[in-house]
């Protein structure tokens, strides 16, 4: 869309009978990572790059809804600003205002969607983007038919979410007892991230020693902390030696393949995108990292009070924002709001397999885990993620019996 800041988007209509189905906005996090490249082409869109071709994703979310993927803020993916200095001071408020302006213009251009049920979804730092956008929609009294939001492995509370990593890594055998003790008593993970990402480094000697010890034991070279059960994508030479590029079902190099695909001139032309060096996460955007410390629980509380249904879910193999923190935060929010537990913590099923666990509070606030999923849940558990998404759209409980939903 043409403006001072041009935000790139792609709309993927439901595969059958799109006119009767809801509209779902998907936002990736970062801050600074692409919703089109990561969301649409890696996670829950209908096609995934594999070399020179696209492979069909049988568990695309546009089987159930009309999907709108937005690269936000400007400077991410194919989105850009005419004022290059903009990239140096972007924050949560600017992003929310730009996103709501985008939606106003999008609905004006596609009025047939104005009265559809509207949902906002995303993951990771979209734990900020999604609730802030939803809150702004309510405050602005815009006539978007916003029904609910869903956020996966979201950053909700800086200290809790980051410090939970220590116990997760330790409980999964990735760090030693001694390193776990240092992460809890000498320098915790939130302080390491604060010193590097917010204050711009360097680390204090004590924190530097702890960070180096964690890196040494976790073996970040071969372990993906966003999904501790999967190998990382190696270079072509290393891949020939280690044969780790692909598992039976999951292409761990899909991110690299997406970069190659979206940088093809013919693909950029077909997408009507500005010719650029496309990157998964922006290399020009300088986000105000003080924003990462802003707690999102009060915003989520306001949404629930406004009648917006909220689903928060966790891929249980993510060590970066572990389920233990998210589950505790959601439970605390429910208590603060005085919500009653109407679905006690229980298992849910995908066909004849345990797909995760869930808990629901007063039909307004829900939490679920996706068993075997990482930070980007639809990549590692596409079928379970689609099942969760379908239940979310319909406002129905997750399956509790050994039958397909």
Cα 219 from Cα 223, distance rounded (Å): 6
Copy the structure tokens of residue 385: 């993620």
Rg (alpha carbons) of the chain, rounded to whole number: 21
The torsion angles phi and psi of 141, rounded to 5 degrees, stand at 55, 35
Reported as a single tens digit per residue, the pLDDT across 147-192 is: 999 999 999 999 999 999 999 999 999 999 999 999 999 999 999 9
Kindly give the pairing relationship between strand 146-152 and strand 47-50: unpaired
Name which residue leads in pLDDT, 139 or 84.
139
**Other CB atoms closer than 10 Å to residue 52's CB: what's the count?**
9
Q: Which H helix or E strand runs over 140?
A: helix 126-140
The confidence score (pLDDT) of residue 245 equals: 36
- DSSP percent split of the chain into helix, strand, coil, nearest 5: 40, 20, 40
Is the peptide bond prior to 379 cis by the omega test (within 30 degrees of 0)? no
Contact status, residue 323 vs residue 369, Cβ threshold 8 Å: yes
The confidence score (pLDDT) of residue 330 equals: 98
Active site residues: 124, 318, 375
Cα 24 from Cα 59, distance rounded (Å): 16
**Other CB atoms closer than 10 Å to residue 90's CB: what's the count?**
25
Phi-psi category of residue 51: left, alpha or beta, with phi > 0 → left and psi -120 to 50 → alpha: left
Copy the structure tokens of residue 208: 């530097």
- Map residue 194 onto helix, strand or coil: helix
Reported as a single tens digit per residue, the pLDDT across 263-298 is: 999 999 999 999 999 999 999 999 999 999 999 999
| Mean pLDDT of the region 62-77 | 96
- Has residue 216 got a pLDDT over 70? yes
CA 106 to chain centre: 22
CATH class of 5-157+286-394: alpha beta
Residue intervals in the chain for CATH 3.40.50.1820? 5-157+286-394
| Mean pLDDT of the region 345-363 | 95
Cα 216 from Cα 235, distance rounded (Å): 20
- Has residue 221 got a pLDDT over 60? yes
- Has residue 6 got a pLDDT over 70? yes
Contact status, residue 14 vs residue 222, Cβ threshold 8 Å: no
- Kindly give the residue spans of alpha helices, DSSP state H, lying in 176-204: 177-185, 189-193
Reported as a single tens digit per residue, the pLDDT across 377-389 is: 999 999 999 999 9
Residue 94, judged by CB atoms within 10 A of its CB (0-12, 13-18, 19+), counts as: middle
Contact status, residue 34 vs residue 77, Cβ threshold 8 Å: yes
The confidence score (pLDDT) of residue 235 equals: 54
Under the banding of pLDDT at 50, 70 and 90, the label for residue 145 is: very high
């Amino acid at each position: 869309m043409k403006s001072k800041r041009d935000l790139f988007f792609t709309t993927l209509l439901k595969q059958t009978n799109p006119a009767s189905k809801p509209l779902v906005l998907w936002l990736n996090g970062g801050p600074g990572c692409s919703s089109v490249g990561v969301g649409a082409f890696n996670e829950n869109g209908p096609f995934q790059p594999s070399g020179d071709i696209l492979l069909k994703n049988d568990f695309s979310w546009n089987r159930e809804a009309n999907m709108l993927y937005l690269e936000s803020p400007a400077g991410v993916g194919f989105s850009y600003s005419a004022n290059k200095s903009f990239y140096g001071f972007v924050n949560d408020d600017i992003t929310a205002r730009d996103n709501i302006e985008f939606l106003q213009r999008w609905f004006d251009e596609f009025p047939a969607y104005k009265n559809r049920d509207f949902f906002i979804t995303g993951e990771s730092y979209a734990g900020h983007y999604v609730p802030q956008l939803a809150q702004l929609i309510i405050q602005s009294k815009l006539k978007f038919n916003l029904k609910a939001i869903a956020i996966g492995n979201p950053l909700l509370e800086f200290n809790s979410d980051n410090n939970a990593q220590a116990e997760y890594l330790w409980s999964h055998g990735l760090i030693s007892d001694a390193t776990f003790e240092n992460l809890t008593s000498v320098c915790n993970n939130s302080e390491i991230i604060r010193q590097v990402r917010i204050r711009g480094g360097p680390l204090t000697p004590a924190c530097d020693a702890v960070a180096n010890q964690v890196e040494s034991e976790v073996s970040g070279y071969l372990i993906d902390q966003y999904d501790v059960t999967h190998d990382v994508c190696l270079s072509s030479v290393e891949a020939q030696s280690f044969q780790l590029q692909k598992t039976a079902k999951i292409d761990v190099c899909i991110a690299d393949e997406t970069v190659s695909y979206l940088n093809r001139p013919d693909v950029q032309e077909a997408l009507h995108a500005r010719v650029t060096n496309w990157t998964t996460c922006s290399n020009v955007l300088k986000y105000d990292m003080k924003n990462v410390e802003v707690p999102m629980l009060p915003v989520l509380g306001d949404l629930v009070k406004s009648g917006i249904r909220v689903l928060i879910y966790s891929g249980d193999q993510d060590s970066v924002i572990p389920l233990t923190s998210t589950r505790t935060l959601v439970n605390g929010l429910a208590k603060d709001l005085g919500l009653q537990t109407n679905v006690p913590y229980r298992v849910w099923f995908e066909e004849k397999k345990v797909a995760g666990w869930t808990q629901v509070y007063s039909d307004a606030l829900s939490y679920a885990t996706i068993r075997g999923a990482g930070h980007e849940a639809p990549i590692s558990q596409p079928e379970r993620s689609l099942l969760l998404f379908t239940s979310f759209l319909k406002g129905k409980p997750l399956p509790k019996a050994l039958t397909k939903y």
